[in-house]
Structure 1
Amino acid sequence: MLGFSSESRGKEAHDLFLNRMPVWVDGAIIVGAGPSGMATAACLKEKGVPSILIEKAECIGSLWKHRTYDRLHLHIPKEFCELPLMPFPASYPTYPNRQQFLDYLEAYARHFDLQPHFNESVQSAHYDRDAEVWRVNTVTCGKSNSNKVEEYTARWLIVASGENAEIVMPKLPGMKEYQGDLMHSSMYKNGSEYVGKKVLVVGCGNSGMEIALDLANFNAKPSLVVRGPVHVLPREIFGRSTFSVAVKLMRTFPVWLTDWLLVFYTWLTLGNVANYGFNRPKEGPMELKHKVGKTPILDVGTVNKIKSGHIKVVPRVTSLTNNGVRFENGLTDSYDAVILATGYRSNVPRWLKGEEKFFSVDGFPKRPSPNGWKGDDGLYAVGLGRKGLLGASMDARNIAEDIRKSYESRQLAEDRCGNHIR
């Protein structure tokens, strides 16, 4: 029996009057059916704990399906990206491509019989202290359930909505006046429609660098905006993944020495990247990744295209003009298209209410990884530690084990209560 207060009972009566009786979930509510949410649902199922997955899109892994470019591959080896309890197929290459990863996610969902509630967008979630449950309100927008409102209640709430839930669009002067193609990188697929055209890519993260490379391979004329200091590393060192090499080095050496070795090897293979417009931060690549979650660029050929002149590096943009942009050095240039590789952000602050103690204003746990997966009152976060798929899998395992203990204790207490009544 749940100990609902008079206030909570009054709310239930009001919901019933509106034909919206809360749906009780005997387990956990998981917001988001991307890799993080599915990994957690699978781990919970393996522990015998039920859950429901709520997903605003019409499919699993919607970011990978709808917001990624065609040539995308995993930037680190598959063994660091597999979800718990199910490895990638042995036939997959070291760096699976976009479609292979999507196929893996579909197979994962089938294997664990994960059936998310699709097209269901969470509008708000809060902890009801009187009833000691989480209340999650959703709206379903589908062909057969247009604007259907629902409320779920459960003991546990797992935030798996992702680091990349919403695109970041900068507000640059002149955006309305610009007459060329203007888009966020999430809309870019390939460079086939830009052959022979001048294209400006704003942002030099891994996505921006690879989109510029893709444009050059399609014989476009790309320019790349480098907005600030950034680490560029080769994807492989002596035929082995730079990421795996860094992990092994850090098991033996301190982070500062690992960073020095990585940067030194980069200098040997790529040369002094500062000569091509990439100034390095003061902190080393692994130190920076640990401190703020900033991922170094793993070069897959872009630097060579810059060296050969097929990609031009340009300064920061201050505004757009009718037919191009104005740079911070005062110069202007014309472009047929501008692609904003300006990243994504968490959307947690928009819908999760009253949890400022656990989540920062930018929608990430305040506690640094690997300790940011557990909050208070049955609140959890998975895949928000800026540690990629490997970090999400670790979160999922920790969360499932933690909930299992509470779930089994509650079941035992309820069984004892039932036996006493009988």
Structure 2
Amino acid sequence: MTTIKTRMGMEAEISSDWTGEPAILEGAIVIGAGAAGLAAAYALIEAGIATEILEREGRLAEPWHHRHENLHLNTHRDLSTLPGVSFPQGTPAFPHRSAVIRLFNDFAQTHRLPIAFGVVVEEIDFRGDHWLLKTSTGPRAARHVVIATGRDRQPFIPAWKGMKDFSGKIVHSAHFGRASDYAGTKVLVVGAGNSGFDALNHLSGVETGQMWLSARNGPSLLPKRIGKIAVHRFSPVMARLPARLADAVMAATQRLVFGDLGTYGLPP
């Protein structure tokens, strides 16, 4: 027996028919209860579509529980909320991971979202007029399926040549741990994205040995704030600009705040 939620908070139950085939949910199954899955389910329910959420973990925001203790969002709190639920007053401009975990749970509880935890979707098959899902708790069927499994659940480390002979540690940013663990060691950070610079920011406060950054291209570096204004507040405006103009604005801001980064070996 499965409980799903419909508009106005009404609940309904679906069960397998006498043949053993699952009854078809005349609505949607959302796979994944991360930010995208929760928001999609909320929108579907608001539109009057019966919806069920399947989450493989036993609790919300599981990846956030395992990230390092100093992890913060790199997006401003005002641009990182979920419909109808905001960060509590006093939350830092760039919320700590614990605040993100709390936001997910507050959102699910506020809207009474129907989440089935511990359900692993193993296979999805289209049957002409509906989707059949093979899961760890039995088959499910629905007219629509939304895939919201995210992109950072499984850390990926490429198989570099010579990796097996390397005598040091190779650590994915998902398992960064504490910056103090790297004291006195030489560190190479591979990748100039958000995770790479997050690691660099924390490592800069520790007496490490020599430290390098490996970047495929010159990254666009912007300060978190100019004066007391969080730069990220301008991102909705920047997103509407043509790419060339946005690049020019970011390059000018980078040069104004940091100077010529070419002296540090960073290309444009």
TM-score (norm 1): 0.55
Q: Which residue in 2 is equivalent to 1:77?
A: 76
* Cα pair distance change 1:187/1:122, threshold 3 Å: same
Q: Which residue in 2 is equivalent to 1:28?
A: 28
SS of residue matched to 2:262: helix
Note if 1:236 corresponds to 2:236: no
Once the two structures are superposed, the pairs formed by residues 194-343 of structure 1 within 5 Å of their partners are 194-221=182-209, 222-248=211-237, 255-280=243-268
* Cα pair distance change 1:254/1:158, threshold 3 Å: closer
After superposition, the CA RMSD in angstroms is 2.5
Deviations 1:362-404 (A, max 9, x none): xxxxxxxxxxxxxxxxxxxxxxxxxxxxxxxxxxxxxxxxxxx
Q: Which residue in 1 is equivalent to 2:9?
A: none
Distance 1:83 1:250 in 2: 20
C-alpha contact 2:24 2:143 (8 A) present in aligned 1: no
Q: Which residue in 1 is equivalent to 2:5?
A: none
Q: Shift of the alpha carbon at 1:90? A: 2.6
Distance 1:63 1:215 in 2: 22
Match of 1:158, as an amino acid?
V
Q: Which residue in 2 is equivalent to 1:48?
A: 48
Distance 2:246 2:197 in 1: 24
C-alpha contact 1:246 1:258 (8 A) present in aligned 2: no
Q: Shift of the alpha carbon at 1:264? A: 1.2
Q: Which residue in 1 is equivalent to 2:110?
A: 111
Distance 1:115 1:250 in 2: 33
Note if 1:192 corresponds to 2:183: no
Task: Kindly tell me the number of residue pairs found equivalent between the two proteins.
Answer: 252
* Cα pair distance change 1:212/1:99, threshold 3 Å: same
Distance 1:159 1:44 in 2: 14
Distance 2:60 2:254 in 1: 37
Distance 1:212 1:201 in 2: 7
Deviations 1:12-66 (A, max 9, x none): 99x73xxxx3253342100111011111222233333321111122221222222
SS of residue matched to 1:117: strand
C-alpha contact 1:190 1:215 (8 A) present in aligned 2: no
Q: Shift of the alpha carbon at 1:98? A: 0.9
| Structure whose alpha-carbon radius of gyration is higher | 1
C-alpha contact 1:237 1:245 (8 A) present in aligned 2: no
* Cα pair distance change 1:247/1:237, threshold 3 Å: farther
TM-score (norm 2): 0.84
Q: Which residue in 1 is equivalent to 2:119?
A: 120
Distance 1:60 1:219 in 2: 36
C-alpha contact 1:246 1:262 (8 A) present in aligned 2: no
Percent identity of paired positions between Structure 1 and Structure 2? 28
Structure 1: state its 5+ residue gaps. Answer: 1-11, 140-147, 281-422
C-alpha contact 1:33 1:116 (8 A) present in aligned 2: yes
SS of residue matched to 1:85: coil
SS of residue matched to 1:275: helix
Distance 1:138 1:39 in 2: 22
Distance 2:227 2:244 in 1: 21
